[in-house]
Amino acid sequence: MLYWPAMHGSFLFDDFPNLTALTSIDHVSSWRDLGIFLSQPRNFPGRPVAMLSFLMQKASWPDHPLHFRLINVGIHLLNGVLVFGLVRRVARHWLPNQVTPDLLQNRANVAACLAAAAWLFNPIQLSGVVLVVQRMTLLMAMFMLLGLLGYTRGLLATEWPAWRRSMWMLLGLGACMGLAFLSKENGVLLPVYALALDAALFREDVQRLPRTLAWLRRLLIWPVVLFVLGYLLWTLPNEWGHASTRNFTVDQRLLTEPRILFDYLGKIFLPRFGLYGLYHDGYVVSRNLFSPWTTLPALLALIGALSAALAGRRRWPLFALAVLWYLGGQLVESTTVMLELYFEHRNYMPLVGPVMALALSVARLPQGQRQRTLYLVAGLWLLACCVTTALSARVYASEDRLALVWANSQPDSTRAQVYLVDRLYKHGQPATALQVLEKAIQLRPNNISLAEDRVLLKCVQGDLAQADLDKLNTLLRTAVFDQGGWENIEILRTIATQGACPELTPKAWLGLADAQLSNPAYANNGLASGFLHYQKHYWAVSQGNLGTAIHELELTYQNDPDANIPRLEAKYLVSAQLYDQAIDVLRNTDYSRLPLLRRLLVDDRAINKADIGEIYRMRKNSRDAAGKPSSLIVGPYAPQ
């Protein structure tokens, strides 16, 4: 009921780039089709479990986000049941047993209810559920919780034979971890959560394990934990001092994340409307220990909390559980891996530990005034969470409402301001949109996304001047990397090709694209430079220049290899009746440059071989035909 208003909103933010594979495939009629779909994500392993769940809803894309969100909420509810089950099992085993079995069962149920409610209703969970693509996080958490239930069943069932306990451990930390990892890479942290539970609450149970089970547990936990820590340390020298696609370095990221973690905790335990959303790109980066001044206190507090949890896990087990679980769950996304700094959905699984610890601390108190007072406080806090979640969900029901709330609550976020500008433009208010944009540009004069949007709006208003293009051209050559800065170039190309803006001619657009490619921040980024060369190939096609189009596609493949690029080259060459050149392109494709996931799932050699056979038949038919077919490419490179 709390989430219902948000169910009717549109797709947002990362939904579009991550789910466009649903548009690119008509139907799955073979293993090859399935492999092509699952290989759309470039990085290994490609999150195939989550991608398959989206594929089953292909008929609802892109017109029915409600159907996707209903599945997300269903998974969230199921995860709440799993949190309840996990906390109840832990409570029944860990709570003092100097009471009657009925009273122990009652306390365990109370702890489980409190933890599940605190986790389900917390407003920081909203973005992870409403953002459709974050089903990856929901599925990962589902398999993690199932895995922990399986592992703890094997660990605590001392009355079972060893073989049966070992099967549950293998199922939990083996099979479930694999499924969690195939939903999202964070699934590899499942043994970290198990280790946090063991270190804080199950030390004696681990010590009592039979020798074979003790070794099995070590093999299931420690190699993965050491691999994760080793990987994070390995990324440091690779990232340190190297050019990054972010506006911060790895050392600045490590200084900033402690502040962000405490900001997350503030949102979790002090729910307030207007703080939650998807756009946090305006968060101030810590440039050193004293800028901003909160950097050093946050870092010291984090180190102090971790040290106290490790040293005092016997004396303060619940505190240790909360800290070790929460920080362990942030290991990948909040340390050395150069992801974006801030996303609320990163708390989805890490939040389980703190709410479990708090629920256990309340349930273990003896009956009396103190316990009743804490129950009252917990109830009021849950009510505040529900109210905040309900109000925030109502905002998600309307893109216009989202744009206004996020732009006001995140004035330093470029994405939030651009989103508001886009909504104003779509409502036929370009002048107001330009005012918002100019205000944002005053705060961030070197931001490429804002500068390109300014050109777009001036085109719409019909007052774009050459000076505006010259200013953008200069900025494109020197500005730092910005994701939207190279994606907007496609919109500018479309306007230039359509002739909708007199000053933005195709030649002027080509100058902008070349200026951006002269910027090392973009030229040295394979994805960005590949995208820009791909846009230049479209420009060449619009000008009837086959040679340039082929050259730009070759540069696209060099920078961002995609199996469809050589086939597109061959298609253009065939349209110009250059059959032999088309065959050479397909025959000489460098498959080793394709992403690993693509090479594992799709036999592109076989696809190209079939296309070569088809080109041979076309060449033969062309030679046998009485007349010469017209070319799709015109100009100096067309056949004479």
Strand, coil or helix: 134: helix
Phi-psi region of 499 (alpha: psi -120 to 50; beta: other; left: phi over 0): left
The pLDDT of residue 244: 63
The pLDDT of residue 132: 94
DSSP string, 404-451: HHHHHH-TT-HHHHHHHHHHHHHTT-HHHHHHHHHHHHHH-TT-HHHH
Give bridge partners of residue 288 from the DSSP assignment. 291
pTM: 0.91
Strand, coil or helix: 108: helix
Distance CA 273, CA 60 (A): 31
Distance CA 8, CA 11 (A): 10
CB 4 within 8 A of CB 393: yes
Distance CA 157, CA 167 (A): 12
Residue 153, CA distances (Å) to 93, 140, 357 in order: 11, 20, 19
Task: Give Cα 447 distance to the centre of its chain.
Answer: 23
The pLDDT of residue 369: 85
Q: How many residues does the chain have?
A: 640
The pLDDT of residue 511: 93
The pLDDT of residue 640: 30
User: How confident is the model over 160-187, as pLDDT tens digits?
Assistant: 999 999 999 999 999 999 999 999 999 9
Distance CA 365, CA 360 (A): 9
Give 10-residue mean pLDDT values along the chain (640 residues): 92 87 77 84 86 91 92 97 97 82 90 97 95 96 98 94 96 96 95 97 94 96 96 86 73 95 96 89 92 96 96 94 97 92 96 96 86 92 96 92 90 90 89 90 88 89 89 90 80 88 90 92 87 94 92 94 92 92 93 89 91 90 62 35
Q: Is 83 exposed, middle or buried (0-12, 13-18, 19+ CB in 10 A)?
A: buried
Q: Which residues of 445-457 are buried (b: 16+ CB within 10 A; e: fewer)?
A: eebbbbbbbbbbb
Residue 288, CA distances (Å) to 89, 281, 296, 298, 452 in order: 44, 19, 9, 13, 31
